[in-house]
Amino acid sequence: MSMVQHEQDSVLQDTSRVAGRQALRNNVEAAVALADAVRSTLGPKGLDKMLLGSDGSTLVTNDGVTVLETAKVLHPTAQMLISTSRAQDDEVRDGTTSTVILTAELLVNALELVDRGIHPATIASGYRMCLPIIEKVLKDISRKSTSNDSLNTVITSLAGKGDQGLQNVLAELAHNAAIREGTGIPEDTRIIKHRTGSIMSSKLVSGIVLAKSRVHREMSMKPDTGRILVLDGGLEKRKPEIDANLKITQLGAIKAFQERENIDLQKRVDDLVSAKISCLIVRDGIEDDAHIMLADAGILAYRRVERQDLEDICRATGSRPIFDLGDIDDEDVGVFSRIYEEKWNNVDHVIIEGPTKSGNTVVLRGSTDLRLEEAKRAFDDALGVACQLIREPYILPGGGASQIALARQLRRFAETIPGREQMAIEGFAAALEAIPRILSSNAGLDPIDELLRATAAQADSKSAWQGLDINSGQITDMGEVSVTEPLSVTKHAISGATEAAISVLRIDDVLWAKQDAQEPDWREEGD
């Protein structure tokens, strides 16, 4: 089931700068070694990898980008591929393994063309010519995603990560959170981890959830709408200054000072009352003496709230943090629709709901920290994909179907190009077919047979949605078996891989230019 992965092959070791074709060869080898490290993880039947840390620690993962980031890779090309894959992860949260595999395939095919006497710059230009065609074809194949399609797409994106039950629960949570939030920004959904119960009992709560209790028991909760103020500071007494003419040895003086301070506190509470504030959220402390004053004034207050939480509360309630209670501007005041506390596993939690749908919290549950971490990683990915589908609600067939359709269209396009770029375009088409090939072989199927079968099915049915369903081993409509991907993920993976491959080809070009120009051993004739 698992494969021990020590350090990468020797080809991943740093190379000295080698000129010309040899440099390209080395770079391609590095890319291939990297792709080899992750190809077995591609798809729902992809294998897990066991990574060994230098300290003897182990991590089992099926996540391509995790594998790559853990490997200690020095080769600049390999590093560039890893950062392309990381960019894919940062931007679209999925498709990282595909990106690396595609980059390596593009480079292998490029090297083959170089060996046949085609200049890297010509190949780069042919590759670039493919991009607008790919964009158009993908747009044509894609279909608008219904809410159910989006949910299924998120489930597909988790294939291979954890068990089916976990995948379904996390996908549904992510899907609902993304819809409720509606911004398409994953960071807008809050996630809190609660170490109790089973992952299956994880839930989505509308509102900002904080593991906090109000500063004074006598403060009443706010079941109805009211005004909320967020203080990025504290409601504290001033410390007596050293040089104040205050003889704190004298009991009377201390008392007088405290009274003055209390009057001052009361004045600030009165200001809150005049501003009709009924909930106060404070980043720093709230003086003990102020607790009862606030309670008496009917103000519900929370202290020691972290800055990120303050920001989330502001977003949910439309408030703006103020730094000093002395100047409360009406524009800084937000609105809540409900504030209530609940005890979860004996910990008080306050839930602050704003008038809009924004500010939701996913409460992930799990019996151990390890389970929680695993769930959190999978949830982050699911949420990322769900948010992609909010921003661009279009889906493509998975199971290699989109890549097969692109390959077919690119070959047709190649025929219309009279120059040497034609061969590069064909090379691009062949590179895309690596995805269905590897998906098949990871599932124990014959990669060539399956690719041929799927290609023929697309031609027969005139539908780009025909692909290989790994679960059943059948060539079928990917929409019917809900093996779908966000358009943005596939598009991004292909364009990222293309850019990466082109820059490797260009490195070679630059090195060649610095070399002796008298020896154009692989320059095109007639150049």
Catalytic site residues? 63, 96-97, 381
The residue sitting closest to Mg ion, measured at its beta carbon, is 94
Shortest separation between residue 436's beta carbon and Mg ion, angstroms: 15
Reading the block at residue 340, the tokens are 């209530």
Q: Judged by CB, which is closer to ligand ADP: 26, or 152? A: 152
The residue sitting closest to ligand ADP, measured at its beta carbon, is 398
Give the sheet arrangement for strand 208-210, strand by strand. 208-210, 347-353, 338-344
Contact 188, 315 (CB under 8 A): yes
Reading the block at residue 125, the tokens are 């230009």
Query: Which residue among 29, 48, 89, 94 contacts Mg ion (CB under 5 A)?
Result: 94
Tell me if residue 136 falls in helix, strand or coil: helix
Shortest separation between residue 156's beta carbon and ligand ADP, angstroms: 5
Q: Judged by CB, which is closer to Mg ion: 86, or 523? A: 86
Contact 195, 362 (CB under 8 A): no
Residue 43 contact among ligand ADP, Mg ion, none, beta carbon within 5 to 8 Å by kind: ligand ADP
Shortest separation between residue 127's beta carbon and ligand ADP, angstroms: 20
Question: How far is 215 from 261, CA to CA, in rounded Å?
Answer: 20
Shortest separation between residue 445's beta carbon and ligand ADP, angstroms: 10
Shortest separation between residue 442's beta carbon and Mg ion, angstroms: 13
Q: Judged by CB, which is closer to Mg ion: 406, or 489? A: 489
Contact 234, 285 (CB under 8 A): yes
SS3 of 231-261: the string is ECCCECCCCCCCCCCCCCCCHHHHHHHHHHH
Residue 439 contact among ligand ADP, Mg ion, none, beta carbon within 5 to 8 Å by kind: ligand ADP
Q: Judged by CB, which is closer to ligand ADP: 299, or 470? A: 470
Tell me if residue 263 falls in helix, strand or coil: helix
Q: Judged by CB, which is closer to ligand ADP: 159, or 404? A: 159
Number of other residues whose CB lies within 10 A of the CB of residue 503: 16
Maximum alpha-carbon separation in the chain: 101
Query: Phi first, then psi: what are they for 2, rounded to 5°?
Result: -120, 160
Helix or strand run (H / E) with residue 270: helix 251-274
Which among 209, 225, 227 is positioned nearest to 337, based on CA atoms? 225
Q: Judged by CB, which is closer to Mg ion: 142, or 167? A: 167
Shortest separation between residue 319's beta carbon and Mg ion, angstroms: 38
Question: How far is 36 from 5, CA to CA, in rounded Å?
Answer: 11
Q: Judged by CB, which is closer to ligand ADP: 312, or 374? A: 374
Cross-strand bridge partners of residue 384: none
Q: How far is CA 335 from the centre of its chain?
A: 31
Q: Judged by CB, which is closer to ligand ADP: 8, or 41? A: 41
Q: Judged by CB, which is closer to Mg ion: 94, or 181? A: 94
For the stretch 354-364, what's the b/e string if a residue is b when 16 or more beta carbons lie within 10 angstroms of its beta carbon? beeebbbbbbb
Residue 156 contact among ligand ADP, Mg ion, none, beta carbon within 5 to 8 Å by kind: ligand ADP
Shortest separation between residue 202's beta carbon and ligand ADP, angstroms: 22
Tell me if residue 40 falls in helix, strand or coil: coil
By CB under 6 A, name the binding residues for ligand ADP.
Answer: 41-44, 46, 64, 94-98, 156, 159-160, 398-399, 435, 439, 468-471, 483, 485
Q: Tell me the C-alpha to C-alpha distance, in Å, between residue 227 and each of 261, 294, 304, 312.
A: 26, 14, 20, 16
Instruction: Name the DSSP class of 276.
Output: T
Strand 189-194 and strand 360-365: the pairing is: parallel
Residue 470 contact among Mg ion, ligand ADP, none, beta carbon within 5 to 8 Å by kind: ligand ADP
Contact 103, 497 (CB under 8 A): yes
Is 485 near Mg ion (CB under 5 A)? no
Shortest separation between residue 30's beta carbon and ligand ADP, angstroms: 20
What CA dihedral angle connects 350, 356, 357 and 360, to 10 degrees? Answer: -30
Residue 483 contact among Mg ion, ligand ADP, none, beta carbon within 5 to 8 Å by kind: ligand ADP
Shortest separation between residue 42's beta carbon and Mg ion, angstroms: 8
Is 48 near Mg ion (CB under 5 A)? no
Helix or strand run (H / E) with residue 467: strand 466-469
Q: Which residues contact Mg ion (rule: CB under 5 A)?
A: 94
